[in-house]
Structure 1
Amino acid sequence: MGFQGQNRVAVITGASSGIGEAIAYGMAEAGFRLALGARRKERLEQVAQQIAERWKTEVYIAELDVTRRESAEAFVKGVVGHFQQVNILVNNAGLARGTAHVAEVTDETDWQEMLETNVMGVLRMTRLFLPHIQTSSSGHIINIGSIAGHEAYAGGSVYCGSKFAVRAITDALRQELLGQPIRVSTIDPGMVETEFSVVRYHGDKSKADAVYAGMQPLTASDIADCVVYTATRPQHVNIDMIVVKPTDQAGAGKVARHPVQE
């Protein structure tokens, strides 16, 4: 039997939309107080308003760019100053950019953004929050990975590499914190229909829509359910990893597509 939020503080990065937004709603419903960070503060304000109206839980929001150390440091200072405690960190901020093969790339901007966000962002936020989580008797770090961290595919070399890194960081961190009351988990989704593909295709919605054509992808709420379940197990139970895919997906590029009903 698990437990609910019990007024503990959960930090969620990339919380302005998609999976991060859904996690915020799920954790609010479970009784957590929330600290939400993202680059789009105006979207965070909308999320916080909906949470306050529906669940009456305390929400702290602030602009956060995990690729900038000064932004991350300011966010952590603000969260700790507001709550005086941190129990859970959900490293959700992440993205994919482009599908070009390595030999085709002449501009490394997309590579740099993925590595800075998906790898350095996870490391940076973990490092900064860890001293505060270590003072908690019920700490937890939950990283949002991907099946791309288990199975590479052409056109995804850097994105896959970044998610393989997240899995390695998660496993190493669990060993580094062994013996402390801190759990370390990763949630690794397959195809989830959010802004993810729109971002990957640099705003080309037609290409993004084609990714999910003829199949039923996961929703952001499906991933939020996994996070809430993982976060609310008894303290002696650590969910190391959840790999979750749509029924229509068996692996990267292995998708069952059905005729679209007119």
Structure 2
Amino acid sequence: MTKTALITGATAGIGAAAARLFAGRGWKVVGTGRRGDRLRAMQEELGAAFLPLELDMRDVNTLRQLDGLAGDWGGLDLLVNNAGLAPPADPLHEQDWDRLDQVIETNITGLVALTQALLRKLIERQGGIINLSSVAATYPYRGGAVYGGTKAFVRQFSLDLRCDLAGTGVRVSSIEPGMAETEFTLVRTGGDQAASEALYSGMDPMTPEDLAETIWWIATLPSHLNINTLELMPTRQSFAGFSVTRKG
């Protein structure tokens, strides 16, 4: 039986790489994203193995209707919650609320709504859920209060969801990557290509393909194994020291 994965944020970066990898290895892939032109291009590239769904992760009503997928796309073996946003890395008091709200609705509300809607299908097939968190869930940095907070939620949500699904055969994993060169920074900086290139210059960051292979590895492990959390970084990324302010 051909397996089916639903991958959010399949229009670029890790989501697009994962869609290509899973389709190329014989799975059917439902790919979601806001940019319909990219989804259609992906469908042309992958053919009948790919079903494009143009949607916004903030549209909870539409997300909840995805449990109605039927026919050849009715079964579900894997949900990859990859879609996510980050606000600019500025202190909280300097940030725009509308942007922060968009990040929270995408990274938390949409993820929870979609996961809840698809649990029945995943339980039927004893499938898996792989949530993309971040090292920002564990290591704080200036300007990361909201983004890091949402990714900490994703990590804890994954662990608690495992408890809810005990005995169902459904596996739940949180992947927590460090620096990976995708469109993430370009979006975060409002399209500042120079800033994006400077961030990754000379440090051999992870690639979307690296993370796609990690997702594949977790998804295809023997069914009696569950990866709870997996943190990974490029070799050239490590940990910063504590910040100290001094009386002037």
The alignment's TM-score, normalised by the length of structure 2, stands at 0.92
Q: Tell me, in whole angstroms, the C-alpha distance in 2 between the residues paired with 1:120 and 1:184.
A: 18
Inter-CA distance 253–207: structure 2 relative to 1 (3 Å threshold): farther
Report the residue type matching 1:231 in the other structure. A
| Matched residues, number | 242
Report the residue type matching 1:191 in the other structure. M
1:174 aligns with: 162
Q: Quick check: 1:64 aligned with 2:59?
A: no
Q: CA deviation at 1:29?
A: 2.5
Percent of aligned pairs sharing the same letter: 37
Q: CA deviation at 1:251?
A: 3.4
CA contact (8 A) 1:91 1:141 kept: yes
CA contact (8 A) 1:146 1:190 kept: yes
Equivalent residue in structure 2 for 1:40, among 5, 11, 35: 35
Q: CA deviation at 1:204?
A: 1.3
1:197-245 superposed Cα distances (whole Å, 9 cap, x missing partner)? 0111011111121211221111000000000000001111111122111
2:99 aligns with: 110
1:87 aligns with: 77
Q: Tell me, in whole angstroms, the C-alpha distance in 2 between the residues paired with 1:210 and 1:90.
A: 30
2:44 aligns with: 49
Q: Tell me, in whole angstroms, the C-alpha distance in 1 between the residues paired with 2:186 and 2:241.
A: 18
Q: Tell me, in whole angstroms, the C-alpha distance in 1 between the residues paired with 2:153 and 2:41.
A: 32
Q: CA deviation at 1:86?
A: 1.0
Q: Quick check: 1:126 aligned with 2:97?
A: no
Report the residue type matching 2:167 in the other structure. G
Report the residue type matching 1:124 in the other structure. A
Q: CA deviation at 1:80?
A: 3.5
Q: 2:93 aligns to what SS in structure 1?
A: helix
Gap runs ≥5 in structure 1? 1-5, 255-262
Equivalent residue in structure 2 for 1:224, among 202, 212, 221: 212
Question: Which 4+ residue blocks in structure 1 deviate beyond 6 angstroms?
Answer: none
Q: Tell me, in whole angstroms, the C-alpha distance in 2 between the residues paired with 1:89 and 1:161.
A: 22
Q: CA deviation at 1:252?
A: 6.5
CA contact (8 A) 1:151 1:252 kept: no
Report the residue type matching 2:107 in the other structure. N
Q: Tell me, in whole angstroms, the C-alpha distance in 2 between the residues paired with 1:81 and 1:169.
A: 30
Gap runs ≥5 in structure 2? 243-248
Equivalent residue in structure 2 for 1:17, among 12, 37, 42: 12
Q: CA deviation at 1:73?
A: 3.0
Q: Tell me, in whole angstroms, the C-alpha distance in 1 between the residues paired with 2:15 and 2:154.
A: 17
The alignment's TM-score, normalised by the length of structure 1, stands at 0.87
Q: 1:194 aligns to what SS in structure 2?
A: coil
Q: Tell me, in whole angstroms, the C-alpha distance in 2 between the residues paired with 1:252 and 1:163.
A: 19
Report the residue type matching 2:238 in the other structure. A
Equivalent residue in structure 2 for 1:145, among 121, 133, 141: 133
CA contact (8 A) 2:67 2:121 kept: no
Report the residue type matching 1:10 in the other structure. A
Q: Tell me, in whole angstroms, the C-alpha distance in 1 between the residues paired with 2:185 and 2:109.
A: 22
